[in-house]
Amino acid sequence: MSLADRFAAITTTERPARTDVILGRAVVLGSSMAGLMAARVLSDHADEVLVIERDETPANDEPRPGVPQGTQVHALLPSGAAQLDRWFPGFYADTIAEGLVEPTPDQAYTYVNGVRRVTPPPLTESRTLISTRPFLESRVRQRTLARPNVRLVHGRADGIGFTGDRVTSAQYVPAGSTEKVSVDADLVVDATGRSSRLSDWLGAAGWPQPRLTRMPIKLNYASALFDRKPDEVLLSTAQTMAGTGQKPRMGGVLPVENNRWLVLVAGFAEDRPSREFEDFQRRCREDFPWVYSHVVDNNAMAGEVVTYHQADSRRRDYDELDRFPAGLIVAGDAVASFNPIYGQGMTSATLHASCLSAYLRSNPPLDQPAWGYLRDVRVVVDAAWQISTFADLALPHVNGPFPRGYRLTKWFTGLIFSASLYDARLNDDFARVTTMLAHPNLLAQPKTLARALRGLIPRPVPVAATGDR
Ligand SMILES: Cc1cc2nc3c(=O)[nH]c(=O)nc-3n(C[C@H](O)[C@H](O)[C@H](O)COP(=O)(O)OP(=O)(O)OC[C@H]3O[C@@H](n4cnc5c(N)ncnc54)[C@H](O)[C@@H]3O)c2cc1C
């Protein structure tokens, strides 16, 4: 099967026709997007699913310490939104009814180097889901915990236990206690995020550890909420790219639930937005198109400017190991976490759950490592990594690692990217790939290249921060 076909099978929105219970107890470590989605899938295949989470469940849609990025702009790409509808039928419609805002294509302003992109044709499969991160996560949590065989336990996961070549238990310290307890499990899922300790736990038990690859992106985010009039809906992303003579920057204006705007300004390396409102406002006025100052100058800020630094994109290639225990799964950021400006993380987590479902429906030998799952996850990680790191390698402070064939792929991707700014068809293909609806190989087809070359009439790409109006 080609990579594109495997990717299509993973991103399918078809609901499984048949699911068999093949596990007694499954234990999931971490209850953020990856853990919740894994628990939802496991609820079809296990008598009991125990989810162990360090944080208390927030009473309202508030950010929580275990997901410190939760204050920052988050959007769920169409592929991830489609997966939520797959696993929780009616999710999109129900969340609209609960206050999710749905901008129409003509309310979306996407800028590259100050130039507004042609409006992408509607992506029929699904739509980007725009809300605050805690709002989205709490809707996924409610629906997962509504499954009768899923239970959330408050405690800190602290290890896994082995019987021979199999993981057969998970250890955790219950909240309010200092004593570790062990719970038997037929399958353990590590979904504890990018600081997962699974590799250390494996190493300590004499198992090989996965290769860890890091790309130092040095990304600096600042986000703030503003009041919004209910009928005012605009959606914007804006990007100034490296190599234009200007500082590479990224911004976003999102209409979110409870009549709020969520506004983001981001820079790299030494270009760090501060927590001062004046700096935030100046950046919106001077560095971004009109939409940004329009929102920030005309509405009251709700709360404070919150900053966030992400040092690197990173991946752990568990599928490459020559030995891996049976009864063990790893999902979400614990496998790979990317530059967040591409919005791939939560969608990847939903796709890892899709890989888990396919694995559990394949009549797998449970006394063997879940290689089938790990290989499918690799397809998802490679696709997301290719998109985000290729773009990041153009940043002046990023010095690798460069993949094989980098120069040629850079030329080719740059060509398609430029053409997609003006060509609606290429824009659609490009959007399908960047929103994880299609594998990047869609852009490597000869007909795509031919179309991009045909449009290669030299066009100046203006670098204007004010954009259109
Ligand atoms: C600034 C920023 C902006 C982003 N924007 C987007 C975006 O627009 N779109 C998008 O799709 N993605 C975005 N992401 C990425 C997204 O936040 C992550 O990919 C996603 O949250 C990964 O989910 P996860 O469940 O794998 O891990 P996490 O969300 O990191 O959650 C890990 C969970 O495990 C728990 N945990 C950790 N250790 C333990 C332990 N020992 N015991 C018990 N529980 C534990 C934590 O409390 C937490 O609940 C962004 C990331 C950042 C940093």
Mutate to test the pocket of ligand 1, among 28, 33, 173, 218 (most ligand atoms within 8 A of CB): 33
pLDDT digits (tens, 9 = 90+) for 328-358: 999 999 999 999 999 999 999 999 999 999 9
> Do 245 and 235 reside in the same domain of the chain?
yes
- Average pLDDT of the chain is 92
Mutate to test the pocket of ligand 1, among 50, 53, 141 (most ligand atoms within 8 A of CB): 53
pTM value > 0.85: yes
Does 467 fall in a domain? no
Ligand 1, atom nearest to 172 Cα: 42
pLDDT digits (tens, 9 = 90+) for 230-274: 999 999 999 998 878 889 999 999 999 999 999 999 999 999 999
Residues near 450 by beta carbon (within 8 Å), at least 6 away in sequence: none
Does 464 fall in a domain? no
465, pLDDT greater than 70: no
What was the pLDDT predicted at 457?
54
- Across 241-385, the runs of DSSP E, i.e. the strands, are 249-256, 260-268, 301-316, 328-330, 336-337
What was the pLDDT predicted at 456?
63
Ligand 1, atom nearest to 80 Cα: 11
> Do 277 and 169 reside in the same domain of the chain?
no
What was the pLDDT predicted at 360?
98
Question: In this structure, how many other beta carbons lie within 10 angstroms of the beta carbon of residue 168?
Answer: 18
pLDDT digits (tens, 9 = 90+) for 5-53: 999 999 999 999 999 999 999 999 999 999 999 999 999 999 999 999 9
> Which protein residue's CA is at the shortest distance from atom 39 of ligand 1?
192
Does 465 fall in a domain? no
Question: In this structure, how many other beta carbons lie within 10 angstroms of the beta carbon of residue 391?
Answer: 22
- Separation of 420 CA from ligand 1 center, angstroms? 31
> Do 249 and 192 reside in the same domain of the chain?
no
464, pLDDT greater than 70: no
Confidence of residue 105 (pLDDT cuts 50, 70, 90): confident
Token pair belonging to 295: 């929102």
- Separation of 33 CA from ligand 1 center, angstroms? 7
Domain boundary among 263, 279, 311: 311
> Do 145 and 209 reside in the same domain of the chain?
yes
Please report, for the domain that includes residue 112, its CATH number: 3.30.9
Does 10 fall in a domain? yes
412, pLDDT greater than 70: yes
- Separation of 100 CA from ligand 1 center, angstroms? 21
What was the pLDDT predicted at 124?
53
> Do 177 and 220 reside in the same domain of the chain?
no
Domain count, the chain: 3
**Containing structural domain, residue 272:** 105-124+215-311
428, pLDDT greater than 50: yes
Domain boundary among 311, 334, 352: 311
Overall size of the chain counted in residues? 469
> Which protein residue's CA is at the shortest distance from atom 12 of ligand 1?
345
Does 466 fall in a domain? no
Mutate to test the pocket of ligand 1, among 51, 54, 84, 196 (most ligand atoms within 8 A of CB): 54
> Do 234 and 383 reside in the same domain of the chain?
no
Q: Given the structure tokens 């996961």, which residue do they identify? A: 157
Q: Residues 91-106: what's their mean pLDDT?
A: 90
pLDDT digits (tens, 9 = 90+) for 127-160: 889 999 999 999 999 999 999 999 999 999 999 9
Please report, for the domain that includes residue 197, its CATH number: 3.50.50.60
> Which protein residue's CA is at the shortest distance from atom 9 of ligand 1?
343
- Separation of 346 CA from ligand 1 center, angstroms? 8
Does 387 fall in a domain? yes
Ligand 1, atom nearest to 332 Cα: 26
Does 469 fall in a domain? no
pLDDT digits (tens, 9 = 90+) for 311-328: 999 999 999 999 999 999
What was the pLDDT predicted at 419?
84
The separation between CA 308 and the C-alpha centre of its own chain, rounded to angstroms, equals 16
> Do 57 and 150 reside in the same domain of the chain?
yes
